[in-house]
Amino acid sequence: MSRDGVRLPELPLHDDEPTLDDQLDRTELIDQVCEMVACGKPPQVLGVHGDWGSGKTSFLHQLQWRLTGECPQQPKERLVGMLKPEFPYKNVTVVWFEAFALAEQQLAIAGDLVDPVVFVSTCMNKATLKVQQEDLDEANLLMDAALKVLGALAVRLGLPPEELQKALLGDSKAP
C-alpha cells in the first residue's frame, strides 16, 4: 500500500474473533482464575470487565478451554492443532450465556435464568449469616429453597438437578 507514492509498512492484521491463542500473555491469570473457580467454595461471582476489543471473550474462551478441554464456541477449524489442557478440571460445568446474542423472544428466558441465580445466591448468603448466628432452622429453610430453585433451573437447562447442585454447591447439601 502506498499513499502519495510513499510505501507504508505492512502491519499485521487481526480479525475481531475470539481466540484460544493467548496473544496478551494472560496464561498465568487464566491459571489463577481456573484454580479459583475449580477450588473455590460457592457461591462465587466472577466479573470480567474491559473495553470493547480488549479480549474479554477470548479470555473467557481460554478459561473454558483450560477448565474443560472444550470450547464449543470456537469454530472447529480453529481447534485444529490445539493441544488440549493436560489436566482439565472434572468438577467444573461451564454454562455459556451471551446476553447480547439473545433475540427478543429469548430475553424472557434470560430473565428466567438470571432471577433464580440471584435468588439462590441471596439464599446462600443469608443461610451463611444464619449459621453464623446459630439460627440453623432458618439456614436450613433458606438452603432448601435454594436447592428447589436450583432443581428447577437444572431442568430448564436440561441438566440432571443433582449435577447442577453438585457443580454449584459441591457435596455440602443434597436433596
Confidence of residue 29 (pLDDT cuts 50, 70, 90): very high
> How far, in Å, are 54, 73, 111 from residue 49 at the CA level?
9, 20, 21
- How many whole angstroms separate alpha carbon 81 and alpha carbon 93? 24
* pTM check: above 0.75: no
Confidence of residue 168 (pLDDT cuts 50, 70, 90): low
Domain range list for the chain? 9-96, 101-175
Q: pLDDT digit string (tens) for 35-66?
A: 888 888 877 777 888 888 889 889 999 999 99
- How many whole angstroms separate alpha carbon 30 and alpha carbon 85? 12
Q: pLDDT digit string (tens) for 120-155?
A: 677 677 777 778 888 788 778 777 777 777 777 777
* Segment among 61-65, 67-71, 154-158, 168-172 with least mean pLDDT: 168-172
